[in-house]
Amino acid sequence: MKLTTTAEIPAARERVFAALVDPETLRQCIPGCEQLVAAGDDVFDATLRIGVAGLKGTYLGRAELRDKQPPAAFSIRFDGKGGSSLVRGVAAIRLSGEGETTRVECDADVQVGGVIAAIGSRLVDATARKLAADFFRRLAEILART
């Protein structure tokens, strides 16, 4: 499944990039994130509790930041499991903009299996878009406070 999202964040590109690679900021922004801990250089283990329709449950996963090009781009390789479901994929993140507004573009290639695959791509796509929108809304709120 391909997923493309964009967001306008009212902060300078350097600040947005720094927030997107900071585990504490990510923990606060990721919907349902109960834990995000370093497992190595640019590698994080996460525990997420998702409460949406057929995706409900606790998921354990790992994310690895790659190809960092501050403040313009990086990629994330991720995989996770929960119950009888699994998710894995890669996302390319690009940041652009001048001054105090940053455009964040995310192109993800995601594979799902198990129960998640059985509930249908429309629900998975809609849920992923909602979670992404919530993530970027929280990111903007956090950056506005600091």
pLDDT tens digit sequence for 2-27: 999 999 999 999 999 999 999 999 99
User: pTM of the entire structure?
Assistant: 0.92
Q: Which residues of 51-72 are buried (b: 16+ CB within 10 A; e: fewer)?
A: ebeebebebebbbbbeeeeebe
Which pLDDT value is given to residue 29?
A: 97
Q: Is the pLDDT of residue 53 over 80?
A: no
pLDDT tens digit sequence for 82-113: 888 889 999 999 999 989 999 999 999 999 88
- Which residues span the domain enclosing 6? 2-145
CATH number at residue 68: 3.30.530.20
29 vs 129: CA distance, rounded Å: 14
20 vs 132: CA distance, rounded Å: 13
Q: Is the pLDDT of residue 62 over 90?
A: yes
Domain count for the chain = 1
